[in-house]
Amino acid sequence: MTTQHFYRMDNFVAGNSVGYLLKTASNLLHPALESAFADSDLTLIQWKVLMYLRDEIASTCKEISHDLPYDPGSLTRVVDELERKGYLKRDRNAADRRVVSLILTAAGRDAVQAAIPRVIAVVNAALSGFSEDEAQTLVDLLVRFIAGLRTMRKDGLPLPPVEA
Question: What fold characterizes domain 17-116?
Answer: Arc Repressor Mutant, subunit A (1.10.10)
- Provide the pLDDT confidence category of residue 162 given band limits of 50, 70 and 90: low
Q: Could you tell me if 68 and 38 are in contact, meaning their C-beta atoms sit under 8 angstroms apart?
A: no
- Residues 59-116 pLDDT 10s: 999 899 888 878 888 999 999 999 999 999 999 877 777 788 999 999 999 999 999 9
Count the residues in the chain. 164
All structural domains of the chain with their residue ranges: 17-116
Q: Could you tell me if 76 and 49 are in contact, meaning their C-beta atoms sit under 8 angstroms apart?
A: no
